[in-house]
Amino acid sequence: MDSAVVGQIYEAAFLPEGWPAALDSIVARVEARGSIMFVANPQANFMKLAASNEIRTLAEEYAAGGWPQRDGKLERILQSGRAGFITDYELYSEAELLRSEAHSQFMRPRGLGDGAGMAIALPTGDIVGVGVIYDLDRGPTQPKFVRLLDTLRPHLARAAFLAARLSLERAQGASSLLQALRLPALIFDASGRVLAANALMEGCRSHVSWRAGDRFSLRDPIADAQFKAACAAIGTDEPGSVRSFAVGGIEGASLMVGHIAPLRRNARDLFARSAGAFILTPAVAPQAPPAELLQSLFDLTAAEARVARAVATGASIEEIAASARVSVNTVRTQVRALLAKTGRRRQAEIVALIAGLKIGRDADG
């Protein structure tokens, strides 16, 4: 996936009027009929969505008619444990699709067929998702397009997370953005210098050390090194680049997770000289089960998340390989990827990291 699409996605995170264009670009590259992005919070009975231009009216009709609640597709995606995009034909049997009210009464009469979607239950309690839909006569979604969509997943997850915190509303400037996020957050330039920070970040002294010259460092040295590396690569979108990582604290402080979101295209006009936003989220999960939490926090694949959970139980590489029916070399490769994405050096540190992901409440209370 080219960097132009990634740039549009991050622009839309801060300027929600950019979502239709970003989704249009995704649609063009996977040859779909349309695409939607949604933010929902079941506890608050809240849902907002954005859609590609061609299906905007259809998406609004779908939401207004209460079809998302009657469809049950979101729950199936979350329960599937899939870290990436999953198609309707993987979620439903042929018989279930024929019985589905959403498909028989809404989708098919409008010429809509198979689709592919992803959904993530965030540690904050929000659920975000992105989906594409194809014309009925196209048949099942082609695997090559699912793979293409999966390359976008980490960027979509971070952008949708920001959209959720901002309730899909435009920030009017740095102060407005940082206040609206309701999480410790700051805006930084290409050198890592802080341009603006909210009161929550300024008060987060168990995890952040403030320094002269508008600079800061993370008290967790591994996380601090990851932040600096991410700053140095903020203008690139290389596959596997780490932009979400664990952030430890001092004095018994709870584990947090840092997320870096680049500021791209017109979003940079809101924040002069800015390069990105850095947000800290509590490593807690009021909604998400462990698999989804691990995947959403550290951009893990489903296989890497399974390995992480197995390592946390004390299983050896050989035992993990036997249980998953894969080679020992495959598991070793997954463990190396897991260590790189979490910024840890040894399996024992993975165990300690996962032990810190406790069930709890959002910082909002």
278 vs 183: CA distance, rounded Å: 10
User: Is 363 domain-assigned?
Assistant: no
Lowest mean pLDDT among 142-156, 301-315, 316-330: 301-315
Domain membership of residue 81 (yes or no) is yes
The fraction of the chain above a pLDDT of 90, given in percent, is: 27
Among the listed ranges 91-95, 148-152, 169-173, 357-361, which one has the minimum average pLDDT value? 357-361
Residue 60 has pLDDT above 70, yes or no: yes
Residue at a domain's end among 247, 282, 317:
282
Lowest-confidence region among 131-135, 176-180, 283-287: 283-287
User: Alpha-carbon torsion 75, 79, 82, 87, what sign?
Assistant: negative
What phi and psi values does residue 346 have, to the nearest 5 degrees?
Answer: -130, 155
Whole-angstrom distance, CA of residue 134 vs CA of residue 316: 43
In total, how many domains does the chain have?
Answer: 3
- Looking at residue 184, its pLDDT comes to 93
The pLDDT assigned to 287 comes to: 42
In this structure, what CATH number is given to the domain that contains residue 185?
3.30.450
Q: What tens digit of pLDDT does each residue of 210-267 get?
A: 998 889 999 999 889 888 888 887 776 665 555 778 888 887 777 788 888 888 777 6
Look at residue 120 and tell me whether its pLDDT is greater than 80.
yes
On whether both 233 and 312 belong to a single domain, the answer is: no
Please report the DSSP string for 286-327 in residue order: SS--HHHHHHHHHT--HHHHHHHHHHHTT--HHHHHHHHT--
Let me know if residue 362 belongs to a domain.
Answer: no
Query: Do 327 and 261 have their domain in common?
Result: no
Q: 360 falls in which pLDDT band (50, 70, 90)? A: very low
Which sign does the torsion angle of CA 84, 89, 91, 97 carry?
Answer: positive
Joined together, the tokens standing for residue 114 give: 């198979």
- The answer to whether residue 317 sits within a structural domain is yes
**Do 186 and 80 reside in the same domain of the chain?**
no
Looking at the fold, whether 89 and 118 belong to one and the same domain comes out as yes
Identify the domain boundary among 225, 260, 282. Answer: 282
Same-domain pairing of 271 and 344: no
Together in a domain, 147 and 264: no
Structure confidence at residue 11 as a pLDDT band (50, 70, 90): confident
Residues 136 and 180 in one domain: no
Tell me: do 109 and 244 sit in the same domain: no
Instruction: Give the tokens for residue 273.
Output: 């000289």
Token pair of 91 as six digits = 């979620």
pLDDT band per the 50, 70, 90 thresholds, residue 85:
very high
Say yes or no: 216 and 139 in one domain: no
User: Looking at the structure, do residues 242 and 132 belong to the same domain, yes or no?
Assistant: no
Contacts 24+ apart (CB under 8 A), 240-245: 240/337, 240/340, 240/341, 242/299, 242/340, 242/341, 242/343, 243/154, 243/158, 243/299, 244/154, 244/158, 244/297, 244/298, 244/299, 245/298, 245/341, 245/342, 245/343
C-alpha to C-alpha distance for 158 and 97, rounded to whole angstroms: 31
CB neighbourhood size of 129 (10 A): 23
Q: Given the DSSP bridges, would you call strands 86-87 and 194-197 parallel, antiparallel or unpaired?
A: unpaired
pLDDT the model gives residue 46: 72
Position 364 in a domain: no
Q: Is residue 365 part of a domain?
A: no
Return d(Cα 300, Cα 337) in angstroms, integer: 9
What is the C-alpha to C-alpha distance for residues 150 and 148, in angstroms, rounded to an integer? Answer: 5
Contact status, residue 287 vs residue 121, Cβ threshold 8 Å = yes
> What's the CA gap between 51 and 299, in Å, rounded?
24
CB 197 within 8 A of CB 186: yes
0.85 exceeded by the pTM?
A: no
pLDDT at 301: 75
Place of tokens 């209370």: 365
CATH number for the domain harbouring residue 320: 1.10.10.10
Least confident of 5-14, 20-29, 202-211, 241-250: 241-250
Q: Could you tell me if 16 and 36 lie in one domain? A: yes
Q: Among 191, 108, 71, which Cα is nearest to 63's?
A: 71
What does the block give as tokens for 171? Answer: 């920030």
Which residue, 144, 165, 186, sits at the end of a domain?
165
- Residue 72 near residue 58, CB atoms below 8 Å: no
What are the distances in angstroms from CA 153 to CA 9, 128, 302? 11, 12, 13
Range of 242's domain?
A: 174-282
Q: Are residues 235 and 93 in the same domain?
A: no
Residue at 277 is within a domain:
yes
What CATH number is attached to the domain comprising 56?
3.30.450.80
Backbone angles phi, psi at 15, to 5 degrees: -125, 85
pLDDT, tens digit (0-9, with 9 covering 90-100), for 261-320: 888 777 666 677 778 889 998 765 444 445 556 666 677 777 788 888 888 778 889 999
Q: Which residues have CB under 8 Å from 204's CB, separation 6+?
A: 184, 280
pLDDT at position 74 over 90: no
Residue indicated by tokens 């009021």: 286
What is the reported pLDDT for 213? 84
Average pLDDT, the chain: 82
**Of how many residues is the chain composed?**
365
d(CA 247, CA 58): 42
Q: What is the percentage of the chain residues whose pLDDT exceeds 70?
A: 85
